Structure 1
Amino acid sequence: MLGERIRGTAGAFAVGAIAAHLVSTVLQNTPDSYNQDLRKFTGGWPIPGWRFFAPNPGVQNVHLLVREVKSDETEPTPWRDVTPQVAHGWKQVVWNPASRGPKALFDAMQQLSVMSSNHAEFNWVTQSSPYRLVFSASRASAGDDARALQFLLMNVFPSAPPEQRMKPILTSEWIPLHPAVDSEAAAA
């Protein structure tokens, strides 16, 4: 009898806690004018705050383009798009562990876009973590016979007129890929 009462009380408490959490989450994600004082009622419990698309919806796609110079050539290859393709389907709503890598790359490209639009010094940009991450993704797409590569971040505005659809964000310097081989060749 006492065991059933404890289980019933624990179950009611769990249902109440989940309901309170859901209500708090809904209130937390309403316009700011409605939830300014919500934090003092949560008792330190973290309430998710999602802002999905507002107030600045995304209107462009960021693409990563790469070109390289092969060991036996002097001219670079044409630019090619190496932006990761992310599968979109009903299963990805529930379980999508493969989205983390492309999301990290997308976030790094967005950060470089912000740096570029704020006129950051190029030397400072090349020392940043986002730049190194984008370079690593670019390097992974280079062929084994490439001796240098360059990457380009390009904003693509799908709804813009054709002549205004693409806007370059950042072009890297030429980055040598095999410095040990290059330095040995230079020493010889």
Structure 2
Amino acid sequence: MPVDRIRGAAGAFAVGALTVHLASTVLQNTPDSYNQDLRTFTGGWPIPGWRFFAPNPGVQNVHLLIREAPAGGGAPTPWRDVTPGVRHGWKQVLWNPGSRGPKALFDAMQQLSVMSANQADFGWVTQSLPYRLVFSASRAAAARDSSALQFLLMNVFPSAPPDQRMKPILTSEWIPLGSPAGAGKSIA
């Protein structure tokens, strides 16, 4: 019965390796982990480092607002929220390919928030890929007869007192719609 012993040993080794891997993963992902050196004890075996929402959970929503300049001149339109809505339902837990576009836009808006918070040069920001992506989303929501548009990123803190719920992050220059995104040309 050496074959049964080999199978038993292989099974025991697999269960042991899985147990060590799961225990290492739990230890690696404890809050304020001082276990960052666990990799030195695992012989190069990768340990997942999941942080999910901790230690900095999201406490604000980022909204995209636009206003357009009419083609014939005149006053700009009022600001309007064009943030894409994300459907939430039981089917989206299993299959939700429609979330990729809004997620990409959200990530771009978050990146612009980080640039703004770090006081990046506005000329550099307008040449960035996140700026171009947000402009493209804004352009898609603009009226066809607009000659230019301006977008605004706004942080909304739902749990804040009413007078402190909104904080502007970044306001673009007026962008002529006949030019490429981020050209930096202003019509004002």
Aligned twin of 2:164: 164
Aligned twin of 1:117: 117
Q: CA deviation at 1:4?
A: 7.3
Q: Which has the higher helix share?
A: 1
Q: Which amino acid aligns with 2:74?
A: T
Q: Percent identity?
A: 81
RMSD, aligned CA: 2.6
What does 1:18-167 correspond to in 2, within 5 Å? 18-167=18-167
Q: Which amino acid aligns with 1:52?
A: F
After superposition, what is the alpha-carbon deviation per residue over 1:98-118, rounded to whole angstroms, capped at 9, x for unaligned?
Answer: 322222211211121122122
- Pick which of 68-77 and 128-137 moved more: 68-77
What TM-score comes out, normalization by structure 1 length?
0.80
- Aligned to 1:150, what secondary structure does the other structure show? strand
Answer yes or no: is the 8 Å Cα contact 2:154–2:167 preserved in 1.
Answer: yes
Mapped to 1, the partners of 2:31 and 2:12 lie a distance apart of 31
Structure 2: 5+ residue stretches without partners: 181-188
Mapped to 2, the partners of 1:23 and 1:89 lie a distance apart of 34
After superposition, what is the alpha-carbon deviation per residue over 1:100-154, rounded to whole angstroms, capped at 9, x for unaligned?
Answer: 2222211211121122122222111111121111111111212222221110000
**Number of corresponding residues:** 180
- Aligned to 1:72, what secondary structure does the other structure show? coil
Q: Which amino acid aligns with 2:50?
A: W
Answer yes or no: is the 8 Å Cα contact 1:155–1:167 preserved in 2.
Answer: yes
What TM-score comes out, normalization by structure 2 length?
0.80
Answer yes or no: is the 8 Å Cα contact 1:27–1:34 preserved in 2.
Answer: no
